[in-house]
Structure 1
Amino acid sequence: MWGIRKNFLALGMLSSCFYGSLEALEFGSMGNTSAAMGGAGVALKHSAWGLYYNPALLSSDPRVKMGYSLGIGLKEHNLAKIAKIDIKNMANTAERLVSTFASGSGTNVGEITNVVKDALSSVLTSSGQTPTGNVEQDLQTYLQNHQGGNYSDLITQVLQQVQQSSSLNPEQKDLLSHIAGSIDYGKLDFSQAGAGGVAGLLQDITISKGGDKGLDKAVNDISAVQDILKDNNLNVTSQDGVILQLSSKTMNEKLGSLGVAIFASVYSSMSVKADASRMRLIIDGGNGSYYELTDNGDSFSYKVSNQTDYNNYSLIAALEDSSDAHKLIATSFVLTELPIGYARTFYLKNGNLNIGVTGKFMSAISTQSQMNIKTNIDFKKELTNFASLDNAISSNNFGIDVGALYEVDFPEFRYLTFGLVVKNINSPSFQSTLSDITIKPQYRAGIGYNSKRFNLAFDADLTPNDLIAFSNIRQQSQMIGGGIAFDLKAIDVRVGAMKDLRQDTGLILTGGLNVLGFLDIALQTSTKFTRVENIPIPQYINLRVGGSLSF
């Protein structure tokens, strides 16, 4: 049975590679103020980071502002399931199934066939019928007499025959005793297998979940591995910056307001690109026998397969041969931006309209690597190679952001603002090793309430933003969020919450504290956790340290 255990060890190695992986590029977050308020900044006047969130903010609060911020964030998608997968149980379960339901030589009737045949013989005899001794014919006769689906008499006899069998070991008896009442006897198949099986052997069995906890766990874990291969990503992001806003009321009224900054961002991503046609769990049982396990939701099927299907469609075979069916793809994208923003206020009857535009020089260093996922791969060595920037490609481009902010000038709503921004409206593109990276336009709207001691803000991405990922299912992000801030003179306190509508990270709670302006700490953390080596890690977390001054 070592071959089966080795097959499932391959799945375990595949799962382990995610713990070294990374991923993402979206609207992002810069500065500590908005980060602590649910990521909202498009209509937040008092923040020093208006140049990043909405250039129109430069003229809405015409003062000199400066700030710095350093941050690092982690986000994973679909990896929580990995922590719950029991590879050892999967291997043990496969061994139990093969040893229980398969013939040792592939030419003689298996013991499970004898158990069902003897049980049918006893039931038919007790009902006044004569069994033929052919398990398939006797089963059909029994089913015709029990069209209502009540198989309790057969189940009782199967349990009795299992315990009386001298060919079954205690582990096999235990398994059959647990699942005897869960077998769909109407779908049992002992006929000649269509792909070269032997007449009389069990060809197909469907078992409802709930009979054996270990079996249920293994089947659910197998489905989880398949889901992870189709839909996955893990990313580490660092967005850092220094910003300066130059303005005053007089300057703004005559010339407008200016802002300059340096933004340095690092996006590191890793995801699996799997061949969807080679995801079936077909097991090599040895001695030329092959079996396929299929999860049907509330039940699972175990049936005879063949070598051709094993070679062409099996997930395990794809991990063993030299094919490129399943690939691990990593991307490192280092982006430096030098933005210069300008904004002007237009005074209207019942409010002020601020229009802003940013032009930015963008320089990127990018590299992408891929490796075929196989059982004999040295993941530690390959991940070390992934971290190297030896084959990195440099390229330059420019980007344009435009934004608008409307300030309501009614007495009851004097502090209310509405903002709209489009970042990277020209879709700047950068070269990379495998595939060029294009930053598509990002649309976001926001609303804010901006008083002297109290601020309230809410933002929403109007469209989903693509992430740098190569998994089978397209990876996107679409954030909504908001928060409140209290200015207590020497100390500012901010709290909020946000949610990614396209990623299953749960509700993300945010908070921050500023002391005397120049020291600020902000934290974002999801309410969903992944346990790695029994240590809970948030599926999304971002920590920022910075500060800002305004005068």
Structure 2
Amino acid sequence: MKKFIYSLFICSSAFVGSLNALEFGYMGNQAFGMGGSGVGVAHSPFSAYYNPALQSVDKGFKIGYSLGVRLKENNLSELSKIPLSSIADINALNNILQDNSMTMTSENGVALQIPIFLGPSLSSSIGIGLFYTKRGSVNFTGNITSGTDINSATNAYIITNGLDIVELPLSYAIRISSAVGHFHIGASAKYIFAQHSLVSEKFSDNTVISDSITKAFSASGGVSTNTYGIDIGLAYSLPLDVFVIGVVGKNLNSPDINTSGIDGLKLDSQYRLGISTKVIPMTTIALDVDLKPNIEFKGLGNGMPKDKVQYVSLGGMFNAGIFDFRLGVAKNILKGDEGWLISGGLGFTFIDISIFSNTNLVKINNVKMPSEFGVKIGGGFSF
């Protein structure tokens, strides 16, 4: 079984490419490399995603793209230690089967920002984007009542979920200048297409884990939804962006998503506050805080607990014009044993790479690896 769990972790990394309020995402490379801080940071093509009001903080033309994948393991390292053909402690196995997951999230997008000048004290900007988030989860479930061989159990299953969400936002922001600073108001109306699939299979010691991963990430059927979402953002900035503060509410209408199982899915609203400063030349320092908990995606129809997440992130960026360098940290303040997320990025205009890793290490098949890690490539330019 150890090699099967190990193959689950490794094979999932080959795929590029809860629930209620899904956790705040990491669209674009800039925020990803700064610990996720983006709600108060201007000068990003992905302002329409993080806070539409930021489009009018920086009035330039922008275009950007980003592709990436994140992986997260929960309790599978413990499951890999149990010989499933000769189970010594049924209670220990059952405890793991009540809460485990491998989740995979691929966030990909392109964004365009176009400035519109209205006068000396008024200006605005239009944003257009295409954001595609693909989620997959694999869970081992069951309650073994007797016996020492998983193959003889009648209620042990592997549950795989696939959830695709495509967003097409059209955003608008206006900037009102005054003697005490600039005030920014922005909103996004976005078309949402979602598709969910769920597959349940018998769990045995001979299970081919890679097949479950493939089903989670390449599901072509499932139940579809066509709906819409509303995001609203506010921001205040001082000249030269010496100080920027922003707040955003996403999915304020809480759209419903049809699912393949008995569990329902509603994209509840998300609220986040962001602050940034450029008081140091060529440097941006930013802080983001989730204003309410969200629910971590661990699949549907699997009986797994709905873990709450609420992140605080701190990031910095040094921008020398021809390149920029980013570092960041983030922490889920509701679950201290997850460790810290450490991120970084290096960009050269149209070529950019960002990575992050959890400080919480787990051992799978005698190999230590972070319980969560991710990578993104992307780029963009502005003028």
TM-score interval w.r.t. the shorter chain?
A: 0.7 to 0.9
Mean Cα displacement is larger for which, 504-513 or 334-343?
504-513
User: For residue 514 of structure 1, what is the aligned residue in structure 2?
Assistant: 347
Aligned partners of 1:392, 1:350: CA distance in 2, in Å? Answer: 53
The percent identity for this pair of structures is 31
Name whichever structure is richer in strand by fraction. 2
Measured against aligned partners, the alpha-carbon deviations of 1:89-121 in whole angstroms (never above 9, x if no partner) come to 976xx5xxxxxxxxxxxxxxxxxxxxxxxxxxx
Deviation of the 1:382 alpha carbon:
5.7
Asked if 1 retains the 8 angstrom alpha-carbon contact of 2:117 and 2:123, the reply is: no
- The change in CA–CA distance for 1:387 and 1:401 in structure 2 (over 3 A counts) is closer
| Cα distance change of structure 1 residues 253 and 393 upon mapping to structure 2, 3 Å threshold | farther
Matched to 1:494, the amino acid is: R
Aligned residue number for residue 74 of structure 1: 71
Q: What pairs with 1:96-135 in structure 2 (closer than 5 Å)? A: none
> Given the superposition, is the C-alpha separation of residues 227 and 18 from structure 1 closer, same or farther in structure 2, using an over 3 Å criterion?
farther
Among 124, 132, 142, which residue is 1:256 paired with? 124
**What does 1:65-214 align with in structure 2 at a 5 Å threshold?**
65-83=62-80, 85=81, 87=83
CA distance 1:234–1:349, shift in 2 (3 Å): same
Which whole-Å CA distance do the structure 2 matches of 1:88 and 1:378 have between them? 14
**CA distance in structure 1 between the aligned counterparts of 2:341 and 2:207, rounded to whole angstroms:** 36
Query: Is 2:305 the partner of 1:437?
Result: no
**Contact (CA 8 Å) 1:367, 1:391: kept in 2 or not?**
yes
Select between 458-467 and 386-395 the one with higher mean Cα deviation. Answer: 386-395
TM superposition shift of 1:388: 5.2
Task: Considering fraction of residues, name the structure with more helix.
Answer: 1
> In structure 1, the residue corresponding to 2:60 is in which secondary structure?
coil
1:545 aligned residue: 377
Q: What residue number does 2:248 align with?
A: 421
Q: Which runs of 5+ in 1 are unaligned?
A: 1-8, 95-218, 280-312
Does residue 296 of structure 2 align to residue 467 of structure 1?
yes
Matched residue SS, 2:190: strand
Q: Secondary structure at the match of 1:56?
A: helix
Matches of 2:147 and 2:295 in 1, distance apart?
28
- 1:541–1:377 CA distance, 2 compared to 1 (3 A): closer
For 1:534 and 1:518, the matched residues in 2 are separated by: 39
3-state secondary structure, aligned to 1:71: strand
Q: Sort the Cα spacing of 1:239 and 1:388 in 2 relative to 1 into closer, same or farther, 3 A.
A: closer
In the alignment, which residue of structure 2 is the partner of 1:160? none
Instruction: Sort the Cα spacing of 1:361 and 1:485 in 2 relative to 1 into closer, same or farther, 3 A.
Output: same
2:67, 2:107 within 8 Å by CA — same for their partners in 1? yes
The answer as to 2:22 corresponding to 1:36 is no
| Paired letter, 2:269 | P
Query: Partner residue of 2:282?
Result: 453
Q: Are the equivalent residues in 1 in contact too, given 2:350–2:378 (CA < 8 A)? A: yes
Aligned-residue offset at 1:379: 5.2
Name the aligned partner's letter for residue 344 of structure 2.
Answer: G
Read off the aligned partner of 2:152 and give its amino acid letter.
E
Query: d(CA) in 2 for partners of 1:52 and 1:383?
Result: 28
Does residue 1:527 correspond to 2:359, yes or no?
yes
The aligned length equals 370
Matched, 1:402 2:243: no
Decide whether the 8 Å contact of 2:84 with 2:148 is kept in 1. no
SS in 1 for 2:95: helix
- Please give the alpha-carbon distance, in whole angstroms, between the structure 1 residues aligned to 2:376 and 2:210: 30
Distance 1:255 1:496, change over 3 A: closer
Counterpart AA for 1:68: Y
Match of 1:247 in 2: 115
1:550 deviation in Å?
Answer: 1.2
Say whether residues 1:354 and 2:176 are aligned partners.
no
Larger radius of gyration: 1
- Aligned twin of 1:320: 152
- Call closer, same or farther: CA 1:271–1:464 in 2, change over 3 Å: farther
Alignment RMSD = 3.2
When normalised by structure 2's length, the TM-score is 0.85
SS at structure 2 position matched to 1:39: coil
Q: Secondary structure at the match of 1:87?
A: coil
Contact 2:8/2:210, CA 8 A, preserved across alignment: no
Equivalent in 325, 328, 331 of residue 499 of structure 1: 331
What displacement does 1:21 show? 7.4
Which amino acid counterpart does residue 462 of structure 1 have in structure 2?
A: L
Alignment correspondent of 2:106 = 238
The residue identity in structure 2 corresponding to 1:67 is G
Secondary structure, aligned partner of 1:258 = strand
> SS at 1:34's partner residue?
helix
State which drifts further: 23-32 or 396-405: 23-32
Write out aligned runs for 1:303-382 (5 A): 313-314=145-146, 316=148, 320-322=152-154, 324=155, 326-374=156-204
Distance in 2 of aligned mates of 1:53 and 1:526: 23
The Cα shift of 1:316 comes to 4.9
Structure 2: gaps (5+ residues)? none
* Per-residue deviation, 1:508: 1.1
3-state SS of 1:256 partner:
strand
Which whole-Å CA distance do the structure 2 matches of 1:427 and 1:317 have between them? 45
Q: Is structure 2 residue 314 aligned with structure 1 residue 486?
A: no
Displacement of 1:36:
0.7
Name the SS for the 1:482 alignment partner.
strand
CA shift at 1:526, angstroms? 1.2
C-alpha change, 1:251 and 1:428, in structure 2 (3 Å) is: farther
Is residue 8–residue 213 contact of structure 2 (8 Å, CA) maintained in 1?
no
Measured after TM superposition, the shift of residue 57 of structure 1 is 0.3
Deviation (angstroms), 1:65: 0.9
Q: What is the alpha-carbon distance in structure 1 between the residues aligned to residue 39 and residue 271 of structure 2? A: 11
CA contact under 8 A between 1:339 and 1:360: conserved in structure 2?
yes
CA offset digits 1:40-82 (Å, max 9, x no partner): 0000012221111001101111111111111111111223334
Cα deviation, residue 478, structure 1: 2.1
